[in-house]
Structure 1
Amino acid sequence: MRQPNPEGLTLADHKDTLWRMAAVSALAGLLAAALVLPWLGGLGLVARDAARGFMALPGDIEIPRLSERIVITDADGERIAEVAEREREVVPLDSISEWVPAALMAIEDERFYEHGGLDLQGVFRAAIRTAQGDTEGGSTISQQYVKNLLIEQAETEEEVESASRQTIMRKIVELRYAMDIEQRLTKDEIMQGYLNLAYFGAGAHGIEVAAKRYFSVSADELDPAQAATIVGLVRGPSYYNPLDNPEAARERRDIVLDRMGDAGYLTAEEVRRYKEQGLELDPTPRGGSCYHSKYPSFCDYVMHWLRDAEVLGETPEERDKVVGQGGITVRTTLDSDMQDAAQKAIEQYVPAGDSTKFATEVLVEPGTGAVRAMAQNMRYGYEDEPGTTSLNLAVDRADGGTYGYQAGSTFKAFTLAAALDEGMKYSTSFSSPTDTSVSGMRNCDGARLGRWNVHNAGDSSSGHHNMITATKNSVNTYFAQLQKKVGLCDTAEMAERLGVHRADGEPLGVWSSFTLGDQEVSPLTVANAYATFAARGTYCEPHPVDAIVLDREGAGQDEEIEVPTECDEDRLSTEVADGVNHLLQQTFKGGTANGLDIGRPAAGKTGTTDSSAYAWFAGYTRNLAGAVAVGDIRGGEQHPLQGVQIGDNYYGIVYGATLPGPIWQATMREAVEPLPVEEFAASPKAFGNPSDKPSKRDDA
């Protein structure tokens, strides 16, 4: 085989460089008009004017760092996803098979190592072959490299079109930049840059990804036929795509092999033998998106978070540029063991498949806001079929999720927090019949609301209740009266202090039934609010990323940016948080969460909306909080959880303790196993006797 650069020469080694560059400069206008674009030669272009202005054109084209993948890892540094707007893996020239540059030069630029950016012989040869019916371009590899650089740098469709437009001005500018490139870089650097930059179809940017896409090998393993197949794509990545158009691809490959033979890289016998082979493809499916991740929903959440992360830039444009550029490693907060535990529990109770019933769960670390797991039963994808969704069911709409789900009685915890914050005691009691009406409440604007008729649900009991027994049994009529005593606006403001917000981005609705959770929120919001109780009143912004490693090219080392936790210790007093923790522990002691214990101290609350549109469970230990929501992807209001078949089981009605509770229990038993057992603080004396026996005196 004739080596691509037999003497190992670079442009800097050629003594006649300056003379050749000067000659090219003088002829550039004429050649661009008369030869590179011969069809314009008869239009009377004033070549002398083009040549005179040629050297005045800017020639210092920026050579950007090529866009690459974003690598996403779990908390332990194990890779869980690779995401890229342009799937590329940059490799050095010595990690690329010698057959690749040989094939490229044979078909595109035989004298690459001999010319200075414009090859006159190549232009004439291209013209002759084109006249003979064998269309060939006259651009050198350096010129093609420049064109690809301009496309890579383009930020709009208009800029891409401008960089690709077939005009004489673009050709002249391209040539001027090529001359600059030839002066600044060695030939090997130009070849390496070109092969990493070029688009080879099927989403493969650069030779390394192309080699894996079509043949499942690295670029350094490509044989002559494989190299010819890939290089042949440069002319038309879509048309010659061997996966979609194998006949055209093989015909193009054979042309490249013939040229390799003509150039002396292959013998006639080798050309014949390689042409007799089929394409022998061994494709690797396209990657570069969260769809291919082991944890696609969490991956999607991370990508949305990155575009809002101020550590990547102060403006959306700056952050988009960093994300689009890629080449960064994102170490997330995900605990793969906890994630697997959540996924297993969800699929055990609400199996994935063709059902429209969904289940989703989030785990959050109290005191840091780190999102440790995010699972759902529905397959991640864009197919319009049951059991598949492109939405992350656990997060807000702005983060790639849904418009949320009514959270039911999980909101009663916020009413408890507001009541304790105002100095009320556990003994605060009301006669709580099956049905009652409440009037006289006002919203935050001071408007008086109408009479509210409220009744107890099937998972609560009527009678005389205090905070402890009402919480244990989730008594709606008690909480309606407690909310009135606390104040509707104060209750809503407490929820907001704990980070509760609507999943659709709209303000919380402050109306009578607020305490019963008829606000559409995400499981992440509820889990994080409950994590604030677990952290004894410290609120932390939920986040999925611990650190971002930037590959600073030329800096000698990577730069790791730690993502700071954003916590506020003053959202809720320690005393109030401890009081809520005491109350929510009672649900496991003969209450609505009876039988859902996990073998260590835990607190939690069931949630079921009217007509069982959605069912919830939110619970926590001192070191891990989680929320589970179950519903119908088509909308729980129209398709409630009544008379439904889920998996192998039939349910007349689904409550928070029916499916969400067991999912939470199965997840937490496994997820907390490596965590230390931590007791909750004792019930604060300020709230009185923690007895669960209500007084007959109504002290409302």
Structure 2
Amino acid sequence: MKGFRGRFRGILEEVDRKRDARGTVLRLSGLGVVAGLLSAALVMPWAGSTGLVARDAAASFMALPGDIEVPHLSSRILLTTDDGTPFAEVAEREREVIGLDEISPWATKALMAIEDDRFYEHSGLDLRGVLRAATRTAQGDMQGGSTITQQYVKNLLIETAENEEQVEEASARTLGRKLTELRYAIDIEERLTKDEILEGYLNLSYFGAGAHGIEVAAKRYFSVSAADLDPGQAALLAGLVRGPSFYDPLNNPEDALERRNLVLDRMVATEMLSAEEAAEHKVKDLGIDATPRGGSCSESDYPFYCDYVMRWLRGSDLLGETVDERDQRLVQGGFTVRTALDAAAQDAAQEAIDKRVPHEDSTKFAAQALIEPGSGRVRGLAQNLRYGFDDEQVGTTSINLSVDRADGGSTGFQAGSTFKTYTLAAALEKGMGYGTSFNSPKSMSVSGMANCEGGTMASWNVRNAGESDEGGHNMISATKGSVNTYFAQLQKRVGLCATAKMAEKAGVHRADGEELGVWSSFTLGDQEVSPLNVAASYATFAARGEYCEPYPVRTVTDDGSGEELEASTRCEQTVKQEAADGVNHLLQQTFNGGTANGLGLGRPAAGKTGTTDSAAYAWFAGYTPNLASAVVVGDVRGGEQNPLQGVTIGGRYYGIVYGGTLPGPIWQETMRGATAGLEAESFAGSPSSFGDPDAAPPKEKEDDSDSDA
């Protein structure tokens, strides 16, 4: 074996001399010889002979693919508002790609000293390192002998891996992996300059603590740019690439200090640093001045909207047809997302919520969603609770209370009387007019309703809330007063199933992903929904019956190629235009002596209050022709157990919180700010087929055969 290693060394050195004499990299013919000999040396400990093994290994080596892709390195995803203003940077692999001229020379010297001091002399295969590795491998210890170029190749394979299996293959300590790595390294050396390889390596390498690339690493550990690293700092970072966890200066400072000093010693040994300078830095501590990890929605100006966008991208086919493809694209990053976020609308909503439901002093929450009718663009998502992951800290949550559970939200909140709107739409679509009247006492029992399966529902006892008036009512007066007993009878007249189907046509679905429950109290909003879903359904009426699925992204632009992908949504006429126009007329009346009295915007608007049973939650949902919004207020501990009765919120005492007393003012202030820059559009006129748009309620109470008093 010793004799073979001697001949092996001689042949390798002869090839090395010929290469140096030519002043160029090894050609493939020479590489075949090297590869075959390398394979024989590495395989011999397990093989009984060398000739056939060496020949076959060399042939296999030459057959390996040699053209490895050098991708655009994974980096941050930039999110901007609709007008192009950045508000978030998100990175699965936090990285800032910089040029070699932006990196301290000490960093390159430290790296070469500890990893590959002959980097500028070899062509991807360091023959001395190979012989050393072969000797140790023959002794039973698989050794790398990897050059910086080979390590760069390994990192590239990990970077471009599409699944965990490919990551494991790229990291496996096997002969096959080493040969593949070597074959690619030779290709890289032929295509790139040494400086390009070094630059790529330093940008690609992982330095621990979520820092990919030397620029982020310098900021993470020392709060400086890579250009400003001194020899000691550079030595610490160079020492990390072989074992980021083991030499982690944040959690294993003693090991990190020992490793740093070893790198400094190697810098002296390779004449890259004087002994005096090394000694000066070795007596210093690590000098850690850490910068917290960035590159996440938690660092965003609008963290909940950011989280919603990232989840939407993963679920949309905009970045790929499969989840795996989209996940890979999100990990890779390197693109800019222009969202539908309107900063003015978002800020107006946040200010209105924070003023009335402060997050610091109670367990009460307020959440709001804003959406553009006719397009589905989500213009804002706001809530009083701040973005955080400490369940013990009052006033923080990682749950986006404005959206469905599947989008990072909650299981929803009962929507109260905002659901009466769907009963109105169902009645109008069936041809009933504004004059449809019922005697609506303070309480009553309603029987005979059937669900969508044809089953007859049990008798339902319903009573008016404190904000409603009993007596004779038509659609207009009952909508203005939100009269429960009227809507119970209207729902029976139009049909319970028809009412639920209308809600679905408008876009309503449960926040927990389950099917809507179709039972007697449907019209009073006993379904758990999200503010975004309610806002989107109300936007259907604002758009004269056209439902548009909510979406938060306008375009995705690749930072490298400039290629732009435009997002779109599904819009469909789901409600008859005439019925939607009728709903718009009815909901405008609530601002004129109704439950929304005093909450007008000074421009055409429609809206509806909602208060659930026992004031577990309070809502206000409303819209102009060009913006819809829904607000919910409740208690994060559960509104059913902690109702909005006898509570102090924002320094104000409430005997009971109705939709018009707290959510309504939040909605009003938000919408005034959010629509300030929008044209004051008008709704279409009231359809004549529904009768007198100002029809007064009946003067006398009427008996109705559809109900049992």
> Which segment drifts farther, 65-74 or 469-478?
65-74
* Greater displacement, 272-281 / 499-508: 272-281
- Give, as a single letter, the amino acid of the residue that structure 1 aligns with 2:253: P
CA distance in 2, matches of 1:154, 1:227: 29
Deviation at 1:593, TM superposition (A): 1.0
Pairing 1:207–2:207 present: no
| 1:405 correspondence with 2:408 | no
Equivalent residue, structure 2, for 1:340 = 347
2:19 and 2:26 in contact (8 A); partners too: no
Do structure 1's residue 103 and structure 2's residue 107 form an aligned pair? no
SS in 2 for 1:227: helix
Tell me what 1:558 maps to: 562
Q: Which of 567, 571, 585 is the aligned partner of 2:571?
A: 567
| Cross-structure match for 1:649 | 652
Residues 224-233 or 636-645, more deviating: 636-645
| Residues 428, 699 of structure 1: 8 Å contact kept | no
How far apart are the structure 2 equivalents of 1:187 and 1:583? 74
Answer yes or no: is 1:68 the counterpart of 2:75.
yes
Partner of 2:693 in structure 1? 690
Tell whether the 8 Å contact from 2:611 to 2:617 is kept in structure 1 after alignment.
yes
Match of 1:286 among 272, 290, 293: 293
Residues 55/377 of structure 1: CA separation in 2 closer, same or farther (3 Å cut)? farther
Distance 1:699 1:165 in 2: 83
Q: 1:484 aligns with which of 479, 482, 492?
A: 492
Q: Tell me: CA distance 1:12–1:491, structure 2 relative to 1, closer, same or farther (3 Å).
A: farther
| Alignment match, 1:502 | 510
Pick closer, same or farther for the CA change 1:128–1:54 going to 2, 3 Å: closer
**Aligned residues of 2:25 and 2:123 also touching (Cα < 8 A):** no
SS of the residue aligned with 1:204? coil
1:424 aligned residue: 432
Which moved further from structure 2: 511-520 or 443-452?
Answer: 443-452
Aligned to 2:520: 512
- CA distance in 1 between counterparts of 2:400 and 2:426 reads 31
Query: Aligned letter for 1:563?
Result: A
* Matches of 1:120 and 1:470, distance apart in 2: 90
What letter corresponds to residue 464 of structure 1 in structure 2? G
- Structure 1 distance, partners of 2:551, 2:237, is 42
Give the secondary structure class of the aligned counterpart of 1:674: coil
Structure 2 match to 1:377: 384
Is structure 2 residue 128 aligned with structure 1 residue 117?
A: no
Quote the offset at 1:318 in angstroms.
2.4
Quick check: 1:111–1:122 contact (8 Å CA) kept in 2?
Answer: no
Cα 1:19/1:90, change in 2 over 3 Å: closer
Compared CA separation, residues 72 and 51, structure 1 to 2 (3 A): farther
Stretch of structure 1 that moved more, 204-213 or 267-276: 267-276
Structure 1 residues 247-292: Cα deviation after superposition (integer angstroms, max 9, x where no partner)? 3323322222222222222233332333344433332210121111
- 1:673 — aligned with what? 676
CA shift for structure 1 position 47: 4.8
Which residue is equivalent to 1:391? 399
What residue is the counterpart of 1:615 in the other structure? 618
Q: Give the distance between the partners of 1:365 and 1:534, measured in 2 at CA.
A: 9
Match among 348, 361, 365 for residue 372 of structure 2? 365
CA distance 1:50–1:454, change in 2 (3 Å): farther
Distance 1:50 1:487 in 2: 83
Q: Which moved more, 1:428-437 or 1:583-592?
A: 583-592
The alpha-carbon deviation at position 137 of structure 1 amounts to 5.8
2:65 to 59, 66, 69: 59
1:303 corresponds to which residue? Answer: 310
Contact 2:77 2:335 (C-alpha < 8 Å) held by counterparts: yes
Partner SS state of residue 561, structure 1: strand
SS across alignment from 1:650: strand
Further displaced range: 47-56 or 472-481: 47-56
| Conserved 8 A contact 1:357-1:631 | yes
**2:564 maps to amino acid:** E
Distance 1:69 1:536, change over 3 A: same
Letter in 2 for 1:113: Y
Deviation at 1:699, TM superposition (A): 9.5
* 1:436-457 deviation digits (Å, cap 9, x = unpaired): 1222222222222222211111
SS of residue paired to 2:359: coil
Task: Tell me, yes or no, if structure 1 residue 472 matches structure 2 residue 480.
Answer: yes
Give the Cα–Cα distance (whole angstroms) in 2 for the partners of residues 187 and 598 of structure 1. Answer: 66
Q: What is the DSSP-based 3-state SS (H/G/I as helix, E as strand, rest coil) of the residue aligned with 2:60?
A: coil
The aligned residue for residue 545 of structure 1 is 553
Verify: 1:434 aligned to 2:437, yes or no: no
Residues 614/54 of structure 1: CA separation in 2 closer, same or farther (3 Å cut): farther
Identify the residue that residue 579 of structure 1 maps to in structure 2. 582
In 2, Cα distance between the equivalents of 1:161 and 1:349?
53
> For the structure 1 residues 455 and 14, does the alpha-carbon distance in structure 2 shift closer, same or farther, using more than 3 Å as the test?
farther
1:454 and 2:458 are equivalent in the alignment? no
Structure 1 residue 602, shift from structure 2 partner: 1.7
Matched, 1:326 2:333: yes
In the alignment, the residues of structure 2 paired with residue 396 and residue 92 of structure 1 have an alpha-carbon distance, to the nearest angstrom, of 43
SS of the residue corresponding to residue 606 of structure 1 reads: strand
1:516 Cα deviation from its structure 2 partner: 0.7
Q: CA deviation at 1:521?
A: 0.9
Change (3 A) 1:661 1:124: same
- TM-superposed CA distance for 1:327, in Å, is 0.9
CA displacement at 1:32 relative to structure 2: 5.9
Return the alpha-carbon distance in structure 1 between the equivalents of residues 323 and 257 of structure 2.
45
TM-score (norm 2): 0.90
Distance 1:613 1:462 in 2: 23
Q: Rate the CA distance shift 1:175–1:361 in 2: closer, same or farther, 3 A.
A: same
Question: Which ranges of structure 1 fall in alignment gaps of 5 or more residues?
Answer: 1-10
2:161 is aligned to: 154
Query: How far apart are 1:575 and its partner, in Å?
Result: 2.5
- Cα distance between partner residues in 2 of 1:661 and 1:677: 20
Q: Which string of whole-angstrom CA distances, capped at 9 and with x for unpartnered residues, describes residues 193-218 of structure 1?
A: 21121100110111121122122333
Any conservation in 2 of the 1:598–1:668 contact (CA below 8 Å)? yes
The 8 Å contact of residues 41 and 134 in structure 2, kept in 1 or not, is answered as no
3-state SS, counterpart of residue 444 of structure 2: strand
SS at match of 2:241: helix
Distance 2:37 2:361 in 1: 67
In structure 2, the CA distance between the partners of 1:253 and 1:20, relative to structure 1 (3 Å rule), is farther
In structure 2, the partner of 1:7 is none
Amino acid at match of 2:93: R
| Aligned-partner Cα distance in 1 for 2:686–2:495 | 24
Instruction: Answer yes or no: is 1:247 the counterpart of 2:250.
Output: no
In structure 2, stretches of 5+ residues that fail to align are 1-17, 705-709
Q: Which amino acid aligns with 2:631?
A: V
Report the secondary structure of 2:167's partner residue. helix
Distance in 2 between residues matched to 1:519 and 1:160, nearest whole Å: 45
Report the identity percentage.
65
Q: 1:19 to 1:692 in 2, by over 3 A?
A: closer
1:353 corresponds to: 360
Q: Deviations over 1:451-471 (max 9, x none)?
A: 221111122121110111100
Cα offset for 1:494?
Answer: 1.2
- Could you list the per-position Cα deviations for residues 62-115 of structure 1 after superposition, in whole angstroms to 9, with x for gaps in the alignment? 333322211111111111111121112222323322222221111100111111
Partner residue of 1:444 out of 449, 452, 473: 452
CA contact (8 A) 2:534 2:630 kept: yes
Contact 2:340–2:554 under 8 Å retained in 1: yes
Question: Is the contact between residue 69 and residue 86 of structure 1 (CA under 8 Å) also seen in structure 2?
Answer: yes
SS of match in other structure, 2:324: helix
